[in-house]
Structure 1
Amino acid sequence: MRVVIMGGTAGIGLATARRLASDGAEVIVTGRTQERLDAAAAAGLTAERLDGTDEEAVAAFFERLGEFDHLVLAFSPGPVGMGPIRETKIADIRAAVEGKLFPYLFAAQQARATGSVTFVSAASARAALGGMVGLSAANGAIERVVSPLAADLAPVRVNAVSPGVVDTEWWSFLPEEQRSAQFTAISASLPAGRVGTAEDVAEAIRYVIGATYVTGTVLPVDGGFTVA
C-alpha cells in the first residue's frame, strides 16, 4: 500500500504516517519545514518538501508521482481567522479558507489516488462556538464537499475525519499555562473525559482508509464534543 500524506511531518499527519508505516505501508509525507522533513526521513518515511498552497508545485508533484493508493490531506494554515467576528479582519477569514479548502480541493483534483482521499477537517465545522467563524467556514466547506466529491471521484472513496480538541503543536499560539488550563476545562466537559491525541485521529484515518464500503462520510473524532 502506497500512501501520500500532505502535512505529514507534524501532528495528526505525522501520527498517521507512523501508524500506517507500522502496518507496512510505503508512506510519502510532504511538508514545508526542512527540519521536520529531515526528522521524518530519519524515521524511515519518504519526505518531500512541498507547499500545499502552491498549485504549480502540487501539480508537478502528483504528475511525477503517478498512481498511488491513498491520499491524506492533513495540512492547514494554523489558527488564522480566529476571534469575534466584529474584531476579525475579513482578510484573515479569507486566509483561513484559502489556506485549507482550495488547496485540499486542488490536491484531490490532481492526485492519481486509486483507493481513497481522506480530508482532515475539524469539529468547528458543526459547533456553535464564538470566535470560530474563520475556522468554521473553512472546515464546514470541506465537510460539505465530501459527499459530492465521493460521487465525482467514484470509485475512489472520499471521506473526512473531523477532530475536536487535539493536543498538538497547532495550539502553540497559546502560552503553556493557558493551554493547560483550557485543556483541563475542555476535558471536564467531554463525555470522553480528556482532550484527544494525534494518535486518536490517526486511528480514525487508518480506519477510513481500510473501510472499503465507507465513502462520502464525515467521521467525528472529538470525544463526544459535538454530541455533549
Structure 2
Amino acid sequence: MTETLKDKTVLVVGRGGGIARAVTMAARGAGAHVVTAGRSQESLAQTYADEPRISTEYVDLTDEATIAALAERIGRIDHVVSTASARARGTIAGLDRDAVRLSFDTKVIGPLMAKHLAPQISDGGSITIFSGVAAAKIAVGTLAVAITNGAADVLARSLALELAPIRVNAVAPGVIDTGAWDALGDERKADYFHDVSSRNPARRIGTTDDIAEAVVFAMTNTFLTGTTLRIDGGEPLT
C-alpha cells in the first residue's frame, strides 16, 4: 500500500480486533500514526504493545465527558474513524428496550463526538462512521440493527453538510468474517457463510481487509463526502 496517509494522525475508535484492528493496521500501513481508543484501554494496549506508531486511549462513546476529555488529550488530528457498535438483534416481540437504546447510543449518538473533535481536525481531514447492510436489506430479526444503521447513513450526510469542508462518510459492511460469527459453532457458521456466498453477486464472504481498504479510500479521496460506501458483495440485490 502506498503511503497515502504519510505523517497523518488517525483516531480509530473501537475494539482491538476485527474491523477496528484491520482499519488500524491499514492506516498505519498507509503511513499514519494511529491513536486507538475504546472502553478497554488496557486490552488495546496489550493488543498493540509491540506495534510502532500505534498508541492507545480511553473513551466511552456513551459518555460525552470521556469524549471531551479524549479530544483535549490528543490535540490536532487528521482523520477520525468510529467502528464502535452494540447490536440488538431479534424480533420486536423479544427486543430489549435498553439493548436498542445502547445500540443507537453507541453507533449514532456516539459519533456526535464530532462536536468535540471537529475543531481539532486539520484541513483536508475526515470522519468515517459505520452503517451496515441491514439498513439496505430488511430482514426479520434485524429491526433494531436496521434502524440504527439507517440513522447512521443519515448522520453521515447531515454531518457532511454541517461540518464542511471536513468530509464525513459512512461505510456499510455486509457479512464479514470478523470472528463475530464464531459463536454459531463451526458447522452452523460454515452453513451460513455458504448460503450467503452462494447468493450474493460477489460469491464470497467479505474480509476485514475489504472494509479497511474502503475506510482508507474514504479518508484519502478528497472529493468524497456525504456518501455511504456499501462494501457488501451486492447482498441487498439478493
**TM-score when normalising by structure 2:** 0.89
Amino acid at match of 1:219: L
Q: Contact 2:16 / 2:43 at 8 angstroms: preserved in 1? A: no
Counterpart for residue 91 of structure 2: 84
List alignment gaps of at least 5 residues for structure 1. Answer: none
Among 175, 195, 213, the alignment partner of 2:205 is 195
CA distance, structure 2, for counterparts of residue 209 and residue 154 of structure 1: 14
Question: Quick check: 1:209 aligned with 2:216?
Answer: no
Counterpart for residue 195 of structure 2: 185
CA distance, structure 2, for counterparts of residue 174 and residue 43 of structure 1: 32
Among 174, 177, 193, the alignment partner of 1:167 is 177
Q: Contact 1:41 / 1:47 at 8 angstroms: preserved in 2? A: no
Q: Output one character per residue of 1:145-185: Cα deviation in whole Å (capped at 9) or x when no partner.
A: 21121110001000001000011133344333222221111
Among 108, 123, 134, the alignment partner of 2:114 is 108
CA distance, structure 1, for counterparts of residue 170 and residue 177 of structure 2: 19
CA distance, structure 1, for counterparts of residue 205 and residue 217 of structure 2: 20
Q: CA RMSD in A?
A: 1.5
Amino acid at match of 1:15: A
Counterpart for residue 233 of structure 2: 223
List alignment gaps of at least 5 residues for structure 2. Answer: 1-7
CA distance, structure 1, for counterparts of residue 228 and residue 9 of structure 2: 23
Could you tell me how far 1:139 is from its partner in structure 2? 0.9
Could you tell me how far 1:32 is from its partner in structure 2? 2.9
Alignment of 1:9-24 (within 5 A): 9-24=16-31
Residue identity over aligned pairs, in percent, reads 34
Could you tell me how far 1:42 is from its partner in structure 2? 1.8
Q: Contact 1:2 / 1:27 at 8 angstroms: preserved in 2? A: yes
CA distance, structure 1, for counterparts of residue 47 and residue 155 of structure 2: 34
**TM-score when normalising by structure 1:** 0.93
Amino acid at match of 1:210: T
Among 44, 50, 68, the alignment partner of 1:42 is 50
Amino acid at match of 1:29: T
CA distance, structure 2, for counterparts of residue 20 and residue 89 of structure 1: 36
CA distance, structure 2, for counterparts of residue 130 and residue 192 of structure 1: 23
CA distance, structure 2, for counterparts of residue 218 and residue 9 of structure 1: 24
Among 63, 70, 74, the alignment partner of 2:83 is 74
Q: Output one character per residue of 1:30-88: Cα deviation in whole Å (capped at 9) or x when no partner.
A: 123323431223222112233222211111011121221000001112x3x21111222
